[in-house]
Amino acid sequence: MHNPALPVSKLLRALALLGLVFGLATLASGGSVLFGPEEARIQAGAYIPWVVWFNFLAGFAYLASGAGLWFGRRWGVLLAAGITTLTLAALAVFLVQLSLGVSYEARTLAALPFRAAVWAVITALAWPRVRP
């Protein structure tokens, strides 16, 4: 059993904050496109709806992972690893769609790899710092 009173490292807290801020920003941006005014959808350009839904729903996972990491919980880093894996899978599907000629917003081509990289770094740095 682990001792919940063990201190959480400053780096782990910083990674948790990054995940939490990333989650809030993701929910705000995706939510504005999905649930906001028509103007938000127009400004989003040629977005692919499933990508926006994936990112929006992932925002909740970002918040959960950030909370787990804040408290030094193993499940927080396991969730971060899952986020990384699913984001890479979404990127792969997105790239297949591009090869088939689907219209897309160029920002998405940078955003998905960026999201995957952020969560891969969070996972790699947090893994050795959480309690079993």
Report if residue 4 sits inside a domain. Answer: no
How far apart are alpha carbons 88 and 113 in whole angstroms?
A: 7
Report if residue 2 sits inside a domain. Answer: no
How far apart are alpha carbons 61 and 30 in whole angstroms?
A: 14
Report if residue 29 sits inside a domain. Answer: yes
Domain count, the chain: 1
Report if residue 66 sits inside a domain. Answer: yes
Mean predicted lDDT score pLDDT of the chain: 93
Burial class from Cβ neighbours inside 10 Å (0-12, 13-18, 19+) for residue 87 reads buried
Predicted local distance difference test score (pLDDT) of residue 1: 42
Predicted local distance difference test score (pLDDT) of residue 9: 92
Query: What average pLDDT score do residues 107-120 get?
Result: 96
Report if residue 25 sits inside a domain. Answer: yes
Report if residue 5 sits inside a domain. Answer: no
In the structure, what pLDDT confidence band is assigned to residue 132 with cuts at 50, 70 and 90? confident
2 has a pLDDT exceeding 70: no
Tens-place pLDDT, residues 24-39? 999 999 999 999 999 9
Query: What average pLDDT score do residues 89-116 get?
Result: 95
5 has a pLDDT exceeding 60: no
Contacts 24+ apart (CB under 8 A), 3-10: 3/131, 4/71, 6/72, 6/131, 8/70, 8/71, 8/72, 8/129, 9/72, 9/129
What pTM, to 2 d.p., does this model score?
0.91
Report if residue 65 sits inside a domain. Answer: yes
In the structure, what pLDDT confidence band is assigned to residue 6 with cuts at 50, 70 and 90? low
Predicted local distance difference test score (pLDDT) of residue 3: 47
Cα angle at 82 between 13 and 49, to 5 degrees? Answer: 105
Q: Which residue range(s) make up the domain with 31?
A: 10-129
Report if residue 46 sits inside a domain. Answer: yes
